[in-house]
């Protein structure tokens, strides 16, 4: 497979090898898997020490474990979507369903609540009105989760706001944080035509890269910028209805302003 370079338009032989995709997937899976293991160990100890405790006292931990299990499943599905995106086959795999966007956001924020507490982040949801549209529910949830987890990664101890709005025939999801602000390098990486592995303490960047391609497959965009007052603003724009024509091969996604 050949891909066009996002910088100069020339073709390159750089492709993501199966072992590189495996390395990226392993990196993404490590955090939720570790959290899940710790929660299960803690729950097992509690049940051993106090086997007669009411089930209600265990339910918060069980819900946390279920959330982490869902995140693990999302990571596996995301790895498959990376492959589909690299081969220009993502749009054909979308499952269009009538969906209320606010419910998706509440689910994502609920699943991220424990990590937010660990990071010292206060998360706030701002939804003015129900937003209905036809989208792929699982992939929309993973897109929003990618932006939320990016904010948690880069802005520990800072507030995070997840907001929605309706403008014309498009719905918008905006995630704001008060971290150091996204770098030009990371913004450019989000719109690279191919996904190359990057090993750093801040992660691989796979979530944002894939979110941009999923949004494009639905006829929308993902954009980001540094906020004037500090921090980052990422925005998902999604048309309320599916595209009437097939989207071209998802390679050159030049950066777009928020």
Q: 3-class SS at 202?
A: coil
Query: Apex CA 213: angle with CA 166 and CA 233, to 5°?
Result: 50
The residue with greater pLDDT, 248 or 86, is: 86
3-state secondary structure of 158: coil
Provide the total of helices (H) and of strands (E) in the chain, helices listed first. Answer: 7, 9
Q: Report CA-CA distances (Å) from 177 to 71, 153, 226.
A: 22, 10, 10
Distance, in Å, from the CA atom of 258 to the CA atom of 43, rounded to the nearest integer, reads 43
Give per-residue burial for 3-30: e unless 16+ CB within 10 Å, then b: beebeeeeeeeeebeeeebeebbebbbe
**Does this model's pTM top 0.85?**
no
According to DSSP, the β-strands at 221-226 and 232-239 are antiparallel
Least confident of 62-66, 81-85, 113-117, 193-197: 193-197
Highest mean pLDDT pick, 5-9, 16-20, 75-79, 160-164: 160-164
**DSSP character string of 87-128:** TT-TGGG---EEEEHHHHHHHHHHHTHHHHHHHTPPEEEE--
pLDDT in tens, 122-170: 999 999 899 999 999 999 999 999 999 999 988 999 999 999 999 999 9
Structural domains in the chain plus CATH codes: 14-239 (3.30.565.10)
Query: Is pLDDT above 70 for 10?
Result: no
d(CA 190, CA 185): 9
- Res. 183 pLDDT band, cuts 50 70 90: confident
State the DSSP code for 51: T
pLDDT value of position 84:
82
| Distance, CA of 41 to CA of 56 (rounded, Å) | 18
Strand partners, 234: 175, 224
């Amino acid at each position: 497979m050949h891909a066009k370079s996002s910088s100069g338009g020339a073709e390159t032989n750089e492709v993501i090898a199966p072992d590189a995709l495996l390395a990226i997937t392993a990196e993404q899976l490590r955090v939720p898997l570790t959290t899940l293991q710790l929660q299960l160990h803690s729950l097992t100890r509690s049940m051993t020490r106090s086997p007669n405790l009411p089930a209600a006292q265990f339910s918060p931990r069980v819900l946390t474990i279920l959330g982490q299990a869902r995140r693990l499943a999302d990571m596996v599905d995301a790895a498959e979507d990376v492959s589909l995106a690299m081969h220009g086959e993502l749009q054909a795999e979308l499952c269009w369903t009538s969906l209320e966007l606010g419910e998706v956001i509440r689910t994502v924020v609920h699943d991220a609540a424990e990590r937010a507490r660990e990071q010292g982040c206060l998360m706030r949801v701002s939804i003015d009105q129900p937003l209905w549209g036809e989208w792929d529910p699982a992939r929309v949830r993973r897109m929003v989760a990618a932006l939320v987890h990016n904010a948690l990664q880069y802005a520990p101890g800072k507030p995070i706001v997840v907001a929605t709005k309706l403008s014309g025939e498009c719905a918008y999801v905006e995630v704001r944080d008060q971290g150091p602000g996204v770098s030009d390098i990371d913004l450019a990486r989000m719109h690279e035509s191919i996904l190359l592995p990057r090993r750093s303490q801040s992660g691989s960047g796979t979530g944002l890269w894939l979110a941009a391609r999923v949004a494009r497959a639905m006829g929308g965009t993902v954009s980001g910028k540094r906020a004037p007052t500090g921090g980052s603003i990422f925005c998902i724009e999604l048309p309320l209805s599916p595209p009437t024509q097939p989207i071209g091969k998802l390679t050159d996604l030049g950066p777009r302003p928020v």
